[in-house]
Amino acid sequence: MVAAATVRHHVSLPTGSSNLNLSVRKARRSAGTWVMIGVPILLVAMFAWQIVSPMLRPEIAVRDAVGFSRVSLESDPAGSRIDFAVVDRVGQETTVSGDVNIKLREPDGTVWQATRTVTATDFRTLPDGGLLAGRTGYSVVIPASDWLRAPRRGGSATVTLSVQPTDGSPFSAVAEERFH
């Protein structure tokens, strides 16, 4: 007995054929895999943003004064001198245009007060010999004839300064200063 041989013809399929409907199972990734891939990518993107974002921010063209860095009360050959320096939001010395109200009070209640209009050109490098020497600031000399009872050496006085800028928010400072 001879067995009949069955022949099957093998047809080769051309690759890239679009009319073929092959059922190929695509591997699906689990949610954990996406988290493992996504978290490092997100961290790298955030790190890059931290480095790049300061470079994209434009510099502040106008440095508006927002406060006083220091106030000093010192003796002067013409009487008493109040020096002060103003700063912008980042702490850099700057100038201001507007009205400055200055009030000086001794512990016994004696008060000297003045209001002056200042411009940016009124701010200069403060003279040597003072606490603010070499800094850009404004200096007010109170003549001995205006303030007869200036604090004696080693005495103290309260200096109150307030500024109403021409454009911007008002700011003020109160300082208890020893008279040098």
Separation between Cα atoms, residue 70 and residue 158, nearest integer Å: 13
Tell me what the mean pLDDT of segment 103-109 comes to.
77
72 vs 17 pLDDT, higher one: 72
Mean pLDDT, the chain, integer: 76
Which residue from 162, 148, 140 is spatially nearest to 74, judged by alpha carbons? 140
Could you tell me the two tokens for 38? Answer: 């996504």
**pLDDT over threshold 70, residue 113:** yes
103 or 166, higher pLDDT: 103
Average pLDDT over residues 144-155: 65
The whole-angstrom distance between residue 110's C-alpha and the CA centroid of its chain comes to 38
Q: Considering the domain 67-178 in this protein, what is its CATH number?
A: 2.60.40
Q: Looking at residue 47, what is its pLDDT?
A: 92
Please say if the pLDDT value at position 138 is more than 70: yes
Statement: residue 61 has pLDDT above 50:
no
Among 13-22, 103-112, 126-135, the range scoring the smallest mean pLDDT is 13-22
Instruction: Output the CA–CA distances (angstroms, integers) from residue 72 to 50, 61, 151, 156, 168, in the order listed.
Output: 40, 29, 13, 11, 24
Where exactly are the structural domains of the chain?
Answer: 67-178
- Does 18 have pLDDT greater than 70? no
Instruction: With cut-offs at 50, 70 and 90, classify the pLDDT of residue 42.
Output: very high
pLDDT at 39: 93
Inform me whether the pLDDT recorded for 43 exceeds 90: yes
